[in-house]
Amino acid sequence: MVERSVTDSLPEVASRLLAPGAAGTVTARVVDIQGFSTWAGDELVVVDSDGVLHGSLLGSVGAAQVLAASRPLLASGHPELASAVVEVHGEAVAEAGLSCGGRAELLLQPTDTIPPALWELLAGRSPAALATRVSGTGRAAASQVVAPDGRVWGSLEPPAPAAVAEAVRLLEAGHSATRRLTDEAGEVLVEAWVPSPRLVVVGSGELVDALAAQGRLLGWELRAVEDRPADDRHWPALGEALSWAGASAALVVLSHDPHVDVPALAAGLDAGIAYLGAMGSRRTQSRRLERLAADGRRDEEIDRIHRPIGLDLGGRSAPEVALAICAEVLACHCGRDARPLREHTGPINDRPSAEPAPA
């Protein structure tokens, strides 16, 4: 199992390098890892025709291995797969900024054999998966891109329908991961990239600071939006923040002002973002829902709003409330109902094993 987070700038880089008339490039990523206990194994990097590496993979040690393995692919111009191994031990561990050494297997692939939908989805911070038939190096490269709703771009030969189902399952789990499937034709690699949530907070005060601090612990970024000016009907600041957060946005509305909270929630509903939550007592929530209904919002839309926001952890201080809110965001992001683990009968992590599974 390899778990990753997405390099935010890479989708834009890849799209530019794939523009009509651009020379060939190679995409590389980690597909198996041993050791490197505190490293997420998250890198997805591109090498352009000039031998320039875009992105980062295990520091200078990984960069050297990626560049060396990319040269034959760039020189041949053939749509083939290649592999490489990165090992970091001894003094090189500290030089690479790691806490311990290990071994990582890389897969390299001509970028033009990957459907552009991968970069488009990742650029919008939407979860995306890639299925690639791999039965060793030197065979023609081809991949399918899979969206969370099961949409597919590209094709595999022979087809591997089980790979699409596995890709959707991995995306629903809320974590970037890799899984290998086997069928009569060989092995299919399924890779899922799931961007972490970005918090958009409407309101001000100490709870915003507490949410920012809690978010930092989780590696989440946050943007706070001040209350909407009375004469600003379009509220561009909120639109810009939601656009920045993309499909992984979590909208947290702290304001109780009906001039602010209803338009904020309406904007979140219109944007179709992953998580919407609103602060306030049940009486406040009731009045807020009445205003949303009067604004023409359907019951199924309103039911998407988490209200009152957060899990029932019993906390009352700003840091405790921030923890409850972020815990609910995380549970929704991972498709969980936030029950105690002792009530969960399956594996604690509920993640697939690293061993290949039959397709």
Supply the mean pLDDT for the chain: 85
Altogether, the residues listed in the chain come to a count of: 359
- Residue 39's pLDDT is 67
pLDDT over threshold 80, residue 216? yes
pLDDT one-digit tens code per residue, 62-95:
888 899 999 999 998 888 999 999 888 888 777 7
- Residue 157's pLDDT is 85
Higher pLDDT, 60 or 253: 253
Backbone angles phi, psi at 54, to 5 degrees: -105, 120
The encoded tokens of residue 227 equal 């209350």
- Determine the Cα–Cα distance for residues 86 and 33; give it in Å rounded to an integer: 9
- Residue 2's pLDDT is 47
The most confident of 23-37, 146-160, 215-229, 230-244, by mean pLDDT: 146-160
The residue whose two tokens read 């507490």 is 210
Share of the chain above pLDDT 90, in %: 50
Task: Read off the pLDDT band of 174 (50, 70, 90).
Answer: confident
For the entire predicted model, the pTM comes to: 0.81
Return the minimum-mean-pLDDT range out of 12-16, 221-225, 313-317: 12-16
- Residue 229's pLDDT is 60
- Residue 4's pLDDT is 46
pLDDT over threshold 80, residue 12? no
Which domains are assigned to the chain?
Answer: 10-193 (no CATH), 198-333 (3.40.50.720)
- 152-161: long-range contacts, CB 8 A cutoff, minimum separation 24: 153/115, 153/116, 153/117, 153/118, 154/114, 154/115, 154/117, 156/131, 156/132, 156/188, 157/133, 158/133, 158/183, 158/184, 158/185, 160/131, 160/133, 160/185, 160/188, 160/359
Task: Read off the pLDDT band of 347 (50, 70, 90).
Answer: low
pLDDT one-digit tens code per residue, 269-306:
999 888 999 999 888 999 999 999 998 999 999 999 99
Return the minimum-mean-pLDDT range out of 11-20, 33-42, 202-211: 11-20
Task: Read off the pLDDT band of 57 (50, 70, 90).
Answer: confident
Mean pLDDT of 328-337: 90
